[in-house]
Amino acid sequence: MHLRLPLPKSILLETALLALFLAAISALLIGNAYYTLLAATVVLFSSMVVAWNVIGGYAGQLDLGAYAYMGFGGIITAELWIKTGLPPIIGIFVGGAASSLLAVLIGIPTFRFGIKEVWYALLTAALVVIFNNIARLLMGPFDYYLPSDSGLLYLKFNNYELMYAISSAFLLAAFLINFLIERSKVGYYLRAIREDELAAEMIGIDTRRYKLYALMIYSFLLGTMGYIYIVLAASFSYRIFDSSASLSIAIMGIIGGLGSVEGAIASSMILRSLGEYFRSSFGSTFPGLDLLLYGTVLILMGIFQPEGLVSMFNLIKRKLGVMTNERDHP
Partner 1 sequence: MISPTLVLQNTVDGIFLGLFYSLVAIGLALIFGVMDIINFAHGDLLMLAAYFAWLGSVDLSTDPSITALLLVPTFFILGIGLYYGLIQPVIGKEPLIQIAVTVGFGLILQNIALATFKAEPKAVPYSIFNFSYSIGPLTLYASKLFIAAVSLATLLALHLFLNRTHLGLAMRSIADNREIAQLMGINVKKLYALTFGLGTSLIALSASLWMTFGQVQPYLGTSFSLISWVIVALGGLGGVVGVLYSGIIVGLAESLGGLLLTPSARMAVVYVVFFLVLWFKPRGLFGRR
Q: What residues make contact with partner 1 under the rule CB under 8 A?
A: 60, 62, 109-110, 113-115, 117-119, 121-123, 125-127, 129-130, 133-134, 136-137, 243-244, 247, 251, 254-255, 258, 286-289, 291-292, 294-299, 301-303, 306
Minimum distance from residue 113 beta carbon to partner 1 (Å) = 5
Nearest C-alpha neighbor of 249 from the set 227, 230, 221, 277: 221
The DSSP 8-state label assigned to residue 55 in this structure reads I
Minimum distance from residue 39 beta carbon to partner 1 (Å) = 24
Tell me the three state secondary structure of residue 144. strand
Q: How far apart are CA 19 and CA 17, in angstroms?
A: 5
Minimum distance from residue 136 beta carbon to partner 1 (Å) = 5
Number of H-type helices and E-type strands within the chain: 13, 0
Is 36:158 a contact under the CB 8 Å cutoff? Answer: no
Q: Angle at the Cα of 71 (from 67 to 72), degrees rounded to 5?
A: 115
| 66 or 232: CB nearest partner 1 | 66
Terminal C-alpha separation, the chain: 19
Nearest C-alpha neighbor of 175 from the set 44, 47, 13: 47
Minimum distance from residue 287 beta carbon to partner 1 (Å) = 5
Length of the chain: 330
**φ and ψ at 156, to 5 degrees?**
-145, 125
| 22 or 309: CB nearest partner 1 | 309
Minimum distance from residue 109 beta carbon to partner 1 (Å) = 5
| 195 or 328: CB nearest partner 1 | 195
| 6 or 330: CB nearest partner 1 | 330
Nearest C-alpha neighbor of 261 from the set 112, 95, 58: 58
| 292 or 315: CB nearest partner 1 | 292
Q: How far apart are CA 56 and CA 35, in angstroms?
A: 30
- Beta bridge partners, 151, equal 156
| 39 or 55: CB nearest partner 1 | 55
Minimum distance from residue 167 beta carbon to partner 1 (Å) = 26
| 184 or 244: CB nearest partner 1 | 244
Minimum distance from residue 101 beta carbon to partner 1 (Å) = 17
Q: Count CB neighbours of 304 within 10 A.
A: 7
